[in-house]
């Protein structure tokens, strides 16, 4: 009887480890599939609506035709517009494409700015005299049709 219990212990240990390994593999596969879906098809519309509502609560208008995010390629926003209702007080920006990515290797090396940031066909409007209120609405420095990284 005791010899049967001793022989069952290694079997149980093996099957427990195998079960945990299968669960870990399933979790990693699920994360990779979710990452692929978000990089290929972008964020779901309900997430975009939630982001827009949160920004609107702060007085910021945000629009983007598509937002794709992922571990490997970073975040890519197409046809982006960010502005406030009071253009004479705050800067506004539009761009055909904004791409931001994080280098995990550079982060592990101790570089705390591991970001790559690219803007394509951007337009930035900065008010010169925001303290003037609506009278200074036309006084803006506009940088248009720029590409930056």
User: pLDDT tens-digit profile of 59-71?
Assistant: 889 999 999 998 8
| Residues 55, 48: Cα–Cα separation, whole Å | 11
Which letter does DSSP use for residue 57 in this model?
H
Cβ-contact 68, 47 below 8 angstroms? no
Residue 102 reports pLDDT greater than 90:
no
pLDDT at residue 81 tops 90: yes
Band (pLDDT 50/70/90 cuts) for residue 16 is: confident
**Is the confidence at residue 124, as pLDDT, over 60?**
yes
User: Do residues 112 and 86 touch, judged by C-beta distance below 8 A?
Assistant: no
- Is residue 61 within 8 A of residue 83, CB to CB? The reply is yes
Give the residue-averaged pLDDT of 25-30.
96
User: Is the sign of the CA dihedral 20, 22, 27, 31 positive or negative?
Assistant: positive
Q: Which pTM does this prediction carry? A: 0.72
Mean pLDDT to the nearest integer, 15-41: 93
Closest CA to 62 of 74, 79, 38, 44: 79
Mean of the per-residue pLDDT values of the chain: 84
């Amino acid at each position: 009887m005791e010899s049967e219990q001793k022989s069952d212990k290694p079997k149980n240990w093996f099957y427990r480890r195998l079960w945990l390994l299968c669960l870990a593999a399933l979790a990693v596969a699920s994360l990779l599939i979710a990452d692929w879906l978000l990089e290929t098809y972008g964020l779901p519309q309900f997430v975009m609506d939630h982001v827009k509502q949160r920004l609107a609560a702060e007085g910021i208008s945000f629009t983007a035709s598509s937002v794709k995010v992922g571990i490997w390629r970073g975040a890519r926003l197409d046809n982006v517009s960010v502005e406030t209702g009071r253009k004479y007080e705050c800067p506004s920006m539009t761009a055909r494409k904004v791409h931001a990515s994080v280098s995990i290797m550079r982060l592990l090396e101790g570089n705390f700015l591991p970001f790559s940031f690219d803007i394509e066909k951007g337009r930035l409007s900065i008010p010169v005299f925001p303290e003037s209120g609506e009278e200074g609405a036309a006084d803006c420095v506009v940088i248009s049709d720029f590409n930056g990284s």
